[in-house]
């Protein structure tokens, strides 16, 4: 996987140098073009994990931005309205992801989303403690994290 990523970056730089256009949009176009070329060249290879991870990474980034926008709007609405609709609390979220990198990524994504904060991970790495502004249904909140961020992180790490 590392070799394909390095090849993708090198082909991107070759593209940028050959075109002489050093704008971000040209880097992005060169990356996508070299990604497609590498995918076509290595078609049928059983070791083509790189070509499944990149779309998943893009999707998790887009999903995170969508959740970020939704949370920002919810918190902004809470600040602008006179009545407080908050139901804050701390929830124990059972973890399926067990790697340190996966737990760190999950905790950071939760913390970066307004209205939620990762507090701690249990010593056995089975529970993540999360503080949230809106916990009307604890099970629904847990399912939202498990079916949202954690599910997508597991897809990348497998």
pLDDT of residue 47: 65
pTM score: 0.77
Give residue-wise pLDDT tens across range 121-143: 999 999 999 999 989 899 999 99
User: Does CATH number 3.30.70 belong to domain 82-157?
Assistant: yes
CA–CA separation, 125 vs 156, rounded Å?
19
pLDDT of residue 79: 87
Give residue-wise pLDDT tens across range 34-59: 888 888 887 766 667 777 788 888 89
Q: Is the dihedral of CA 127, 67, 117, 131 positive or negative?
A: negative
Q: Which position has the token pair 């990604």?
A: 35
pLDDT of residue 46: 63
pLDDT grade for 91, boundaries at 50, 70 and 90: very high
User: What average pLDDT does the chain have?
Assistant: 89
CA–CA separation, 142 vs 72, rounded Å?
20
Q: What are the sequence ranges of the domains in the chain?
A: 2-41, 82-157
């Amino acid at each position: 996987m590392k070799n394909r990523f390095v090849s993708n970056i090198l082909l991107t730089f070759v593209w940028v140098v050959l075109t002489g256009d050093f704008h971000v949009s040209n880097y992005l176009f060169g990356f996508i073009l070299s990604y497609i070329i590498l995918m076509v060249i290595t078609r049928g290879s059983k070791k083509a994990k790189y070509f499944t991870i990149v779309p998943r990474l893009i999707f998790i980034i887009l999903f995170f931005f969508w959740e970020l926008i939704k949370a920002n709007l919810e918190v902004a609405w809470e600040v602008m309205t006179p009545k407080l609709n908050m139901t804050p609390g701390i929830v124990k979220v059972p973890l399926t992801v067990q790697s340190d990198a996966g737990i760190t990524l999950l905790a950071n994504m939760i913390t970066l989303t307004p209205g939620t904060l990762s507090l701690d991970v249990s010593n056995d790495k089975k529970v993540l403690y999360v503080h949230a502004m809106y916990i009307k249904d604890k099970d629904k909140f847990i399912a939202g994290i498990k079916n949202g961020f954690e599910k997508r992180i597991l897809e990348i790490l497998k």
